[in-house]
Amino acid sequence: MNTTFSQKMMRKAIALSKKSIEKGGGPFGAVIVKDGKIVASGHNMVTIKNDPTAHAEVSVIRKAANKLGSFSLAGCEIYTSCEPCPMCLSAIYWARIDKVYYANTKKDAAKIDFDDSFIYKQIALPYDKRSIPVVQMMRDEGLQAFKMWQNKTDKTKY
């Protein structure tokens, strides 16, 4: 993409972050583009929908996947007003988005009380050291579903 187009898309993501604040959401907006056209755009909806996963990036990934009729967003790029948090970054990888453009950094977000550094630290810890207990149980029963999946001949791989 050329610089002018990229700047236009980033300005749209930033404008969406401001719109989110006006509607009662957090200051985050995002746009997904494919072949030079906007596929989906949106903003943070966490407090609006009472959904902790409704970050701007996750919300537009859901919209784009629905619009394109595919869980793979290969060939798409995302413009986001802030460097993605761990959840959003994971969603971007799962969606197979080709490239991420962002405006504000995670340090900028931390300065206004959107600090995700504790999540990065928690992920690196052994389960028994995390602040939320993680307990494995009933593995043998759980593996039955995995065996079913492994033996399924008409599965859609992702």
Q: Which residues are catalytic?
A: 57
Q: Supply the DSSP symbol for 42.
A: E
| Concatenated DSSP letters of 105-142 | -HHHHHHTT---HHHHHHHHS-GGGSSS------HHHH
Angstrom distance (rounded) from CA 74 to CA 76: 5
Angstrom distance (rounded) from CA 24 to CA 105: 22
Other Cβ atoms less than 10 A from the Cβ of 135: the count is 6
The burial class, CB within 10 Å (0-12 / 13-18 / 19+), for 83 is middle
